[in-house]
Structure 1
Amino acid sequence: MVRPRFSKLPPEQQQAIVRAAREEFAAHGFHDASLNRVIEAAGISKGSMYYYFDDKVDLFAHVVRIDLEQLFDRLGPFPVPDGGSADEFWSTLEGYYLRLMTALTATPDLATLIRGLLAASTTPVLAQAQADLTQALLPWLELAVIRGQRAGAIRTDLPSALLIAVVMGMGQAIDVWLMNQQPADADLAGSVGVLFEMIRGAVAPSKHAAVRKGGAPPPSE
Structure 2
Amino acid sequence: MTQERKTFENLPDEKRQRVLSEATQEFADHGYDQASVNRIVSRLGIAKGSLFKYFGNKQGLFEYLFGHAVKQFKKPLKDIRDNQEGDFFQRIERSFLASGAFVDAHPQIYRIYLKMLFNEHFPMRDKFLGEIRKAHAKFLRQLIEDGIRQGELPSDLDIETAVFNIHSTLDRFLQGYAVPSLDHGIEAAGQSLEDKARSLTDFLRNGLANAPY
Counterpart mapping for 1:112-191 below 5 A: 112-120=111-119, 123=122, 125-181=124-180, 183-184=189-190, 187-191=192-196
Tell me the amino acid that sits aligned with residue 5 of structure 2. S
Task: Report the Cα distance in structure 1 between the residues aligned to 2:61 and 2:119, rounded to whole angstroms.
Answer: 14
* CA gap 1:153/1:116 in 2 versus in 1, 3 angstroms: farther
Taking the aligned partners of 2:118 and 2:3, their CA distance within structure 1 comes to: 29
In the TM superposition, what is the alpha-carbon distance from 1:71 to its structure 2 partner? Answer: 5.2
Structure 1 Cα separation of the partners of residues 175 and 81 of structure 2: 23
Q: Give the TM-score of the pair, scaled to structure 2.
A: 0.68
Structure 1: segments with no counterpart, 5+ residues: 209-221
Match in the other structure for 2:20: 18
Aligned partner of 2:201 in structure 1 is 196
Query: What is the CA–CA distance in structure 2 between the aligned matches of 1:81 and 1:96, rounded to whole Å?
Result: 12
Is the contact between residue 39 and residue 46 of structure 1 (CA under 8 Å) also seen in structure 2?
no
State how far apart, in whole Å, the 1-side matches of 2:83 and 2:77 are. Answer: 16
TM-score where L is the length of structure 1: 0.66
Q: Which amino acid aligns with 2:104?
A: T
Task: Output one character per residue of 1:39-90: Cα deviation in whole Å (capped at 9) or x when no partner.
Answer: 434523369639835545x533432331342355478712357586xxx321
- Say whether the 8 Å CA contact 1:79–1:96 is kept in structure 2: no
Structure 2 counterpart of 1:98:
97
Say which structure, 1 or 2, has more relative contact order (CA 8 Å, 6+ apart).
1
1:35 partnered with 2:37: yes
- Distance change (3 Å), C-alpha of 1:55 and 1:117: same
What is the CA distance between 1:129 and its match in structure 2?
0.7
Displacement after TM superposition at 1:117 (Å): 3.8
Match of 1:216 in 2: none
Partner of residue 48, structure 2: 45
- How big is the shift at 1:122? 5.3
Cross-structure match for 1:219: none
Deviation, 1:103, is: 4.4
How much has 1:7 moved relative to structure 2?
1.5
| Residues 45 and 193 of structure 1: CA distance in aligned 2, closer, same or farther (over 3 Å) | same
Note if contact 1:39-1:49 (Cα within 8 Å) is conserved in structure 2. Answer: no
Question: Would you say how many aligned residue pairs link Structure 1 and Structure 2?
Answer: 199
Alignment partners' CA distance in 2, 1:174 and 1:104: 11
Report the equivalent of 1:59.
Answer: 61
d(CA) in 2 for partners of 1:116, 1:137: 19
Segment of structure 1 superposing worse, 34-43 or 114-123: 114-123
Contact kept in structure 1, 2:140 and 2:163, CA below 8 Å: yes
CA distance in 2, matches of 1:80, 1:121: 35
1:70 to 46, 69, 72: 72
Q: 1:25 to 1:158 in 2, by over 3 A?
A: same
Distance 1:157 1:96 in 2: 24
Aligned CA RMSD, in angstroms, stands at 3.9
Offset at residue 94 of structure 1 (A): 0.3
Determine helix, strand or coil for the equivalent of 1:90.
Answer: helix
CA contact under 8 A between 1:22 and 1:109: conserved in structure 2? Answer: yes
Paired position in structure 2 for 1:212: none
